[in-house]
Amino acid sequence: MAERLVGKQAPDFTMATVDGSGESFGKVSLSDYKGKWLVLFFYPLDFTFVCPTEITAISDAADEFKKLDTEILGVSIDSVHSHKAWIKTAKEDNGLGKLNFPLASDITKSVSKDYGVLIEEEGIALRGLFIINPEGELQYQVVHHNNVGRSVEETLRVLEALQSGGLCPIGWKKGDKHLVAK
């Protein structure tokens, strides 16, 4: 049985990155996001078919995440060089084009394993999405089969609900009333 992560400190990480323009390489650690919310999402592989639909949709919504004081980090087991090539490839050629957040390389597969999304026999990650609060505590996780994309709208809704600090019923949206504990 997989270990529960929600409600605990998020597993620490340090990974190599390429920025969203595909121009420069760097490194990122969980501690770099201290004081901010983080949407950390895993996808199986660069140059695949469902992945660019998700990644570009998340990139298109980057301003909405920024308004919620939230950073975004995409992760796969590919190298930063593969990430760079994918960013530099035109969308009409199954590329990403410029992104509004970096992509990280989990080439050792250790971060995917720590977050419980590694399919060991295939050497790739499931589609896992994690919301980590400013104190580094994991607040939300969702994991999909690799043939199903995630919803940016649902991620934003859940993020707003978590940030609201109240009891949020099903379908809660910003501006809705919270439940009152009796």
Active-site positions? Answer: 51
Distances (CA, A) of 46 to 28, 36, 43, 117, 135: 19, 27, 8, 16, 31
Of residues 70, 66, 94, 97, the one with CA closest to residue 84: 97
Of residues 69, 75, 84, the one with CA closest to residue 19: 84
Reading the block at residue 149, the tokens are: 């994309």
Distances (CA, A) of 127 to 1, 45, 66, 100, 133: 19, 10, 22, 20, 20
Q: Kindly tell me the sign of the dihedral angle through the C-alpha atoms of 106, 111, 113, 116.
A: negative
